[in-house]
Chain A
């Protein structure tokens, strides 16, 4: 069976969405700390969406591995991120801010790293974006 290319695309899409949602959590946190009450609700709702988006990256990582011959490491990595975001949400509701804020920063950094890695690793395992574009050019012909 030839590897499919769409699971890699799905992985990129889900990790990008998760990373954007996580970054917005920082944005909403900043806004309610400066006094915007509705931002608190957005931050709370955003935590649900972020956890859901991170969970969807697990599925995408599995599909990438199985159908797209992707690397194995994204599966444990995304599963670990689901656990971290769940803990992060719990700490937020419990107002354990001394851990919630640094953990939030960590989650955002890890999600960005995951997203960048997904974009750098092309569907045929090109080593870089340049390689990815080059391979795209090949197949485009």
Chain B
């Protein structure tokens, strides 16, 4: 052996060792912005910014009696043209995706009769609603389609109904951007993916007094499509949940706003109110306008309604299920300016959301008030107990899943017994991104890690964006109605793979 070859051998050994470590290191340097696995469409990607934004229809009451407004929704499969030249079968509320927007006012009860004409059982949950347990859409309170009624004896279930169910919402709560969506145990991910989601905008006198500009609801959601235009979803054969690495969450590669891929929306030169909802199964968004409006994105509300005072942002980060109520002033743009809403959490097409085209029309000027609403948060010192919940990966019956406090979801396992009218501190620990959502009970974020609340944590929330390795403390106000409610991760694949738990309020 020559000197050269021995040196070369040593060198090669050193180099391959360095490469053996360096390559995996280099490949994973950029931390992901969402916990999820990209599901690639097989259909060609539709062109960006070609179609006009549509706004979901407003649902009118079928009748109003006393202090109650009655509505009717038929859950039905329809075929829609989302991609040019192809049809997509959707599961919808009343044939539209998003479902029709419901407007309600504090002081008036809403009763909605849902008729299930889908091929699967459904459960309707009003997200953010202060709703009695019986009508909260507990995950096993199935509404079976009529033609499945004969099989019902074989299904585990809670308060099961057949063909239809009427949900009653007292809505004794602050004005807020709520939304309704399917919440069936083990199958929320595929059902919402197929279209079962809609806006429910709740109003009150405090909001009305502000004279805010008319709002445009924007439901942002990513989806993936098969060659024939049908929605792709990596469901596990013969069971619930998803296959392989999609356990992390399903990320689509077509950005939809109100069901339209990368739409364009004309605006006048004035102030608009947008209700942003991240209705993605797993994708987090970082929303920014390009070019930016000089007055910024003025956030006036969050999950739990109006903030005490507006907060100006240059960008907004939304985890799945979170809502931001924002004002955007387009009056400083020259007519003809194209303003793109971008998503800085991704690149390429998924780094784009929609476009606004500024027209000539001047709208009446709107001055953003300094005070928006009265928010009286409870004090941390009032907390009667501190509980800790770990949201972590784990094995369930031999396959990968997700656990809350090392437990998979089971309707009979109660993680917390809480007293209505009390305040508790919950410490939530996450291993990956987990947007944790509590039913019934709004909360305030006390802090993250060793620091205080994050830039988007002000105000009442019902969903907190937990990031990998993060430990957050929230102050939960339990109030409203007794009964069993769930809290869970709103990455819908995590939820379906058991990242959910119960609390019982008394």
With the chains together, A36 CA to B37 CA distance in Å? 10
CB distance from A109 to the nearest CB of B (A): 15
With the chains together, A37 CA to B249 CA distance in Å? 9
Residues A139 and B1 in contact in the complex (CB < 8 Å), given A19-B17, A35-B433: yes
Residues in chain A near residue B20, CB distance under 8 A: 20, 23-24
Residues in chain A near residue B467, CB distance under 8 A: 35
Report whether B28 and A31 are in contact in the complex, using a CB–CB cutoff of 8 Å.
Answer: yes
Residue on B nearest A115 in the bound complex, by CB: B17
With the chains together, A22 CA to B249 CA distance in Å? 29
With the chains together, A140 CA to B431 CA distance in Å? 55
Report whether B393 and A40 are in contact in the complex, using a CB–CB cutoff of 8 Å.
Answer: yes
Residue on A nearest B17 in the bound complex, by CB: A20
What's the count of A-B pairs with C-beta under 8 Å?
A: 80
Is B96's CB within 8 Å of the partner chain A?
Answer: no
Stretch at the interface among B3-11, B362-370, B481-489: B3-11
Pick the contact of A37: B7, B17, B248 (CB < 8 A). B248
Q: Is the interface of A mostly helix, strand, loop or mixed?
A: helix
Residues A27 and B13 in contact in the complex (CB < 8 Å), given A37-B245, A140-B1: no
Is B31's CB within 8 Å of the partner chain A?
Answer: yes
Residues in chain B near residue A19, CB distance under 8 A: 17
With the chains together, A35 CA to B434 CA distance in Å? 10
Report whether A137 and B3 are in contact in the complex, using a CB–CB cutoff of 8 Å.
Answer: yes
With the chains together, A35 CA to B468 CA distance in Å? 5
With the chains together, A33 CA to B25 CA distance in Å? 13
Using a Cβ–Cβ cut-off of 8 Å, how many residues does chain A contribute to the interface with B? Answer: 30
Residues in chain B near residue A31, CB distance under 8 A: 24, 28
Residue on B nearest A112 in the bound complex, by CB: B17
Is A136's CB within 8 Å of the partner chain B?
Answer: yes
CB distance from B427 to the nearest CB of A (A): 17
Is B32's CB within 8 Å of the partner chain A?
Answer: yes
CB distance from B390 to the nearest CB of A (A): 9
Q: Which residues of B, 18-38, contact A by the 8 Å Cβ criterion?
A: 20-21, 24-25, 28, 31-32, 35-37
Residue on A nearest B31 in the bound complex, by CB: A34
Report whether B13 and A16 are in contact in the complex, using a CB–CB cutoff of 8 Å.
Answer: yes
With the chains together, A40 CA to B37 CA distance in Å? 13
Residue on B nearest A136 in the bound complex, by CB: B6
Residue on B nearest A33 in the bound complex, by CB: B469
Residues in chain A near residue B13, CB distance under 8 A: 12, 16, 119
With the chains together, A63 CA to B333 CA distance in Å? 78
CB distance from B34 to the nearest CB of A (A): 8
Residues A37 and B247 in contact in the complex (CB < 8 Å), given A24-B21, A133-B6, A136-B3: yes
A28, A37, A136 — which one has the most chain B CB atoms within 10 A of its CB?
A37
Report whether A39 and B393 are in contact in the complex, using a CB–CB cutoff of 8 Å.
Answer: no
Residue on A nearest B19 in the bound complex, by CB: A20
Residues in chain B near residue A30, CB distance under 8 A: 28
Is A38's CB within 8 Å of the partner chain B?
Answer: yes
Report whether A27 and B28 are in contact in the complex, using a CB–CB cutoff of 8 Å.
Answer: yes
Is A41's CB within 8 Å of the partner chain B?
Answer: yes
With the chains together, A31 CA to B7 CA distance in Å? 34
Residues in chain B near residue A42, CB distance under 8 A: 24
B3, B28, B31, B468 — which one has the most chain A CB atoms within 10 A of its CB?
B28
Q: Which residues of B, 436-472, contact A by the 8 Å Cβ criterion?
A: 467-469
Q: Return the 5 tightest CB-CB contacts between A and B, nearest first.
A: A37-B248, A35-B468, A31-B28, A34-B31, A20-B20
Q: Enumerate 18 A-B pairs (CB-CB under 8 Å) in ascending A order.
A: A20-B16, A23-B21, A27-B28, A31-B24, A33-B431, A33-B469, A35-B35, A36-B31, A37-B245, A39-B28, A40-B393, A119-B13, A129-B10, A133-B6, A133-B10, A136-B1, A136-B6, A140-B2
Residues on B close to A: CB < 8 A?
1-3, 5-7, 10, 13, 16-17, 20-21, 24-25, 28, 31-32, 35-37, 245, 247-249, 392-393, 431-433, 467-469
Residues on A close to B: CB < 8 A?
12, 16, 19-20, 23-24, 27-28, 30-42, 95, 119, 129, 132-133, 136-137, 139-140
